[in-house]
Chain A
């Protein structure tokens, strides 16, 4: 399978746990050419020996906090938005057969 045919994008979507209609997959395939042309602009740039920049501020801002109870949720709050719940647990359809 050509990886840039609409079916390729449908298979990517499936791995991301959603689906694309035929029309949506075709539209992405059509647009992908321009995106790849834009991405090719990166190849013009010599990045030999350059370290990846993961965050804009590279000085340390995180820390190990003391092991004390801080902000907490009640069970009721944690489950407030659950589509289904019972006995203080989230309820889903079966996970294993």
Chain B
């Protein structure tokens, strides 16, 4: 079993890390998941300093929006195609001090702005279960490198389900903690009020260990929580005696795939057998239908502002012009992909003075109502579950879904509630449909990582789907 313990218990971490590098090269030929392979030599030469670390000797991957000192960091964009950070993100420091060894920076939708990984400057990432299907995004490269067995852990970021959706499409665990639990210092942003550092593992115990390593107050991120780091792994307890689990019925009604419904029903029956009380939870349908447009307005508006510093003048790829304005326009036109320019235009539209009340402020108010409805839904239960997507990973060319249907608006986008609210939320493997994985999502109360992990462990034991790997030949 290639879990954390497999790596931390072995006598020769150098060999294990080098094997992971070779595996990454081989898998990448099929998956196109890597932006930069990192030579681990220098890290290995320093590794003994971190002996006893919770992730000692574990080869890991970072999404390429994590600043890494001296290592190319592109955020999946052409405009940062030559950007070499001069500092480490806080999480890069924490992982190094825990003994982890970075072997690659992984592909993402440009600046994390997408759910398909099709907008990455390096091209699409392919799903290891079916290379004609998408990885999901925006943390697609990280997801497939964990799913294909290259590494047992990878960092992603989750602004609108960008870890939890690809986890579903790739049969692995995708954990998004409470907003502010993990420092965002040094993460190239997408939308600051929604951005979370999140991560992939192949089982819940490893997720608990990783959360211990990554959590904690960081004065360099002013939204970082002033809460102590807990011993999540040693406190893991999958007992469901006395636990109340809610089923989000709006999502189930919006899903038409009978295999997913059947897998979910089996899981629910199993949780009941283990002693959980199952409660149907119906949230306000109008609010759930408004999640996607609310997200689109807030996220794109924040992104438009956040990325105004990408002008080709102080860093990044510069194109020539006679005046500063021309340099900026030429650099930004050549540097941003068309999907991102589209999103910036929409974000700018929502921020115009004449649209602010109707769109931007309205969306921020609707956000509050959605979060209040979620809070009420969770008030009498320990956790809320539903399938993590309406189907398996789509084909790379599939754009057929009706974007005003409840299947799309609710079943494909409800997990964004976790970003609006900042509540901890995790996707776990639920089962397989014709050999392709689908996931189940669990969301719990603000700050309550331990209950999230405990219930996640109970779900993992119920499905028996820990440590799933799909190697690519």
Partner of A56 from B84, B86, B179 at Cβ < 8 Å: B179
Whether A56 contacts B219 by the Cβ 8 Å rule is no
* Residues A92 and B324 in contact in the complex (CB < 8 Å), given A28-B345, A56-B422: yes
Q: Which residues of A contact B223 (CB under 8 A)?
A: 55, 57, 61-62
Produce 1/0 per residue, B186-216, CB < 8 A to A.
0000000110000000000000000000000
**Which of chain B's residues 304-348 have a Cβ closer than 8 Å to chain A?**
304, 311-318, 321-329, 332-333, 336, 338, 341-342, 344-346, 348
Report the Cα distance A35→B297, complex, angstroms: 10
Whether A56 contacts B420 by the Cβ 8 Å rule is yes
B6 at the interface (CB under 8 A from A): no
Produce 1/0 per residue, A45-65, CB < 8 A to B.
101001111111100011101
Report the Cα distance A15→B349, complex, angstroms: 11
Whether B304 contacts A45 by the Cβ 8 Å rule is no
Whether A9 contacts B345 by the Cβ 8 Å rule is yes
Q: Which residues of B contact A20 (CB under 8 A)?
A: 338, 341, 345
**Which of chain A's residues 28-51 have a Cβ closer than 8 Å to chain B?**
28, 31, 34-35, 37-39, 41-42, 44-45, 47, 50-51
Report the Cα distance A54→B194, complex, angstroms: 10
Q: Which residues of B contact A93 (CB under 8 A)?
A: 321-324, 326-327
Partner of B365 from A19, A53, A90 at Cβ < 8 Å: A53
Report the Cα distance A81→B225, complex, angstroms: 32
Question: What residue in chain A is nearest B418 (Cβ atoms)?
Answer: A56
Report the Cα distance A55→B313, complex, angstroms: 31
Whether A12 contacts B349 by the Cβ 8 Å rule is yes
Whether B362 contacts A82 by the Cβ 8 Å rule is no
Report the Cα distance A42→B365, complex, angstroms: 10
B5 at the interface (CB under 8 A from A): no
Report the Cα distance A53→B293, complex, angstroms: 15
B389 at the interface (CB under 8 A from A): no
Whether A71 contacts B365 by the Cβ 8 Å rule is no
Whether A38 contacts B422 by the Cβ 8 Å rule is no
Whether B368 contacts A81 by the Cβ 8 Å rule is no
* Residues A47 and B369 in contact in the complex (CB < 8 Å), given A16-B304, A17-B332, A95-B324: yes
Question: What residue in chain B is nearest A53 (Cβ atoms)?
Answer: B368
* Residues A38 and B293 in contact in the complex (CB < 8 Å), given A18-B336, A50-B368: yes
Whether A71 contacts B327 by the Cβ 8 Å rule is no
Number of A-B residue pairs with CB-CB distance less than 8 Å in the complex they form = 165
Q: Which residues of B contact A27 (CB under 8 A)?
A: 338, 342
Whether A47 contacts B365 by the Cβ 8 Å rule is yes
Question: What residue in chain A is nearest B320 (Cβ atoms)?
Answer: A93
Partner of B342 from A28, A37, A82 at Cβ < 8 Å: A28
Residue in A17, A37, A41 with the greatest tally of chain B CB atoms within 10 Å: A17
Q: Contact residue range for chain A?
A: 35 or more
Question: What residue in chain B is nearest A47 (Cβ atoms)?
Answer: B365
CB B329 to nearest CB in A, in angstroms, measures 5
Question: What residue in chain B is nearest A79 (Cβ atoms)?
Answer: B314
Whether B179 contacts A57 by the Cβ 8 Å rule is yes
Whether B421 contacts A12 by the Cβ 8 Å rule is no
B82 at the interface (CB under 8 A from A): yes
A24 at the interface (CB under 8 A from B): yes
Whether B290 contacts A35 by the Cβ 8 Å rule is no
* Residues A71 and B220 in contact in the complex (CB < 8 Å), given A13-B345, A44-B290, A57-B225: yes
Residue in B82, B341, B363 with the greatest tally of chain A CB atoms within 10 Å: B341
CB A75 to nearest CB in B, in angstroms, measures 11
B286 at the interface (CB under 8 A from A): yes
Whether B193 contacts A55 by the Cβ 8 Å rule is yes
Report the Cα distance A53→B298, complex, angstroms: 10
CB B253 to nearest CB in A, in angstroms, measures 18
B108 at the interface (CB under 8 A from A): no
Listed from nearest, the 3 A-B pairs whose CB atoms lie closest are A56-B422, A81-B315, A52-B364
Supplied contacts A17-B311, A53-B368, A90-B313, 8 more A-B pairs, CB within 8 Å: A20-B345, A39-B297, A45-B286, A47-B362, A61-B222, A61-B223, A71-B220, A93-B327
27 contacts between A and B (CB under 8 A): A19-B329, A27-B342, A35-B293, A37-B404, A38-B404, A41-B290, A41-B409, A42-B359, A42-B362, A42-B366, A45-B286, A45-B290, A47-B369, A53-B364, A53-B420, A54-B193, A55-B223, A56-B179, A56-B193, A61-B224, A63-B222, A65-B219, A71-B87, A78-B86, A81-B82, A82-B315, A83-B318
